Amino acid sequence: MSDTKFPPENNLPAGYQPPKVWAADTGNGGQFASINRPVAGPTHDKELPVGKHPLQLYSLATPNGQKVTILLEELLEAGHKDADYDAWLIMIGKGDQFGSGFVGVNPNSKIPALMDHKPKDGGAPVRLFESGSILVYLAEKFGAFLPTDARARAEVMNWLFWQMGSAPFVGGGFGHFYAYAPVKIQYAIDRYAMEAKRQLDVLNRQLADNAFVAGAEYSIADMAIWPWYGRLALDQSYPDAGTFLATHEYEHVVRWAKQVAARPGVKRGVVVNKASGDPGTFLPERHDASDFNGLTI
C-alpha cells in the first residue's frame, strides 16, 4: 500500500491533529473557558434562595432561560394567578450553576431550573430541569398553551422537540464559532451557517401556511422556538448575524418573530433574569409583578 498522504479536503491547510487520548487544555481560551470542565457535580457549597411563591425559578436570560420566563409571564397575562413566581439570577459566567443547591435541582448544571413547591398532587416538591421539560410541565399544570386534542398536541410536541434537537446547532454551533470562539475557523462557521439557514428555511416553509409554528394557535412551541430563531431573524442574537445569514429572506419567520415579540408576556419574559443592558431594560430578579414598574419594555 502506498504511503502517499493525500492533501486535506478542499486543499485547506492541515490543522489540529487529535491525540490518542484527549485531555483538557486549560490554556485553550475562549469566552467560556473558565467555566467549562469535563466532569459534573458541584464545585462549592451554596444553597439556593427560596421566595414567597410556590414556583421558584433559577435562571439567566439566555434563549433557554427566556423560554420559561416567557411562558410564566404568558400564563399570568392569561389570568393564571397561581403562576406567580420568584426568579433568581444564576450567573453562569461566575459558576453559580455549580453550587451544591443548583446541582441538587439540576445535576446537569445548566439553566433554567425550577422547583414547584406546590404540585397539583399536593405531595413533595417537584424539581424540573431542561427547558422543554419545564414548558410541558407548566403547560399541563395550568392547562394552557398545549392543546388537549391528540393531533394538535402532537404537532406542538413535534415542534417543541424539533427546537430542543436543532437549537444546539445554532447556539453551540453557529453562534459559538461565529461570535465567541477565540479564533475564526472558516470550516466551522460555514458548516453551522449552512445548518442555521436550513433550519430557518424549515421554519419559513411551516410558517408560510400557519399563523404560529404548530398551527393556528400560539403554544409552548412558539415560546421555545422564538428566543432562538425569532430573535435571530430579527438580528437580536449575535452581532451582525442577521446580515451574515440574510435572515430578511425568511419573510414568514420575520413576520412571526415580530408578531410574537409584540406580545406583553414576551416583552416581560425576555427581561427577567437579564443582568445587563441599557437602564430600564433588564430585571435581574423578579419576585412580584410590580418589579416591572419603571422598566421601558
Q: Are residues 133 and 181 in the same domain?
A: no
CATH for 127: 3.40.30.10
Predicted pLDDT at 16: 82
Verify that 112 and 173 share a domain, yes or no: no
Give dist(CA 139, CA 146) in Å, integer. Answer: 6
Give the count of domains, the chain. 2
Q: Is residue 206 part of a domain?
A: yes
Say what the pTM is. 0.93
Residues 129 and 79 in one domain: yes
Q: Which pLDDT belongs to residue 11?
A: 54
Same domain as 159, residue 136: no
Question: Beta partners for 286?
Answer: 87
Pairing of strands 113-116, 55-59: antiparallel
Considering the domain architecture, whether residues 88 and 122 belong to the same structural domain is answered as: yes
Give the structural domain span for 90: 55-145
* Exposed e or buried b per residue across 255-283, where buried means at least 16 C-beta atoms within 10 angstroms of its C-beta: ebbebbbebebbbbbbbbbbeeeeeeebb
Q: What pLDDT is attached to residue 25?
A: 80
Q: For the chain of 297 residues, list the mean pLDDT of each consecutive stretch of 10.
A: 46 76 78 82 97 98 98 98 98 96 98 97 97 98 98 98 97 96 95 98 98 98 98 97 98 98 98 95 97 94
How many angstroms separate the CA atoms of 14 and 7, rounded?
A: 8
How far, in Å, CA of 115 to CA of 277, rounded?
28
Check whether residue 100 and residue 68 sit in a common domain.
yes
Question: What is the pLDDT at residue 13?
Answer: 58
| One domain for residues 243 and 154 | yes
User: For position 177, which CATH number holds?
Assistant: 1.20.1050.10
Among the listed residues 128, 86, 101, 2, the one whose alpha carbon sits nearest the alpha carbon of residue 43:
101
What does the alpha-carbon distance between residue 60 and residue 102 come to, in Å, rounded to a whole number? Answer: 13
pLDDT of res. 4: 44
Cα four-point dihedral sign 224, 225, 226, 231 = positive
- CA dist., res. 88 & res. 287, Å (int): 8
pLDDT of res. 26: 73
The answer to the question of residue 119 being in a domain is yes
- Residue 286 grid cell: 423578579
50 domain-assigned: no
Q: Are residues 155 and 88 in the same domain?
A: no
Cβ atoms 203, 211 nearer than 8 A: no
Boundary of a domain, candidates 145, 166, 193: 145
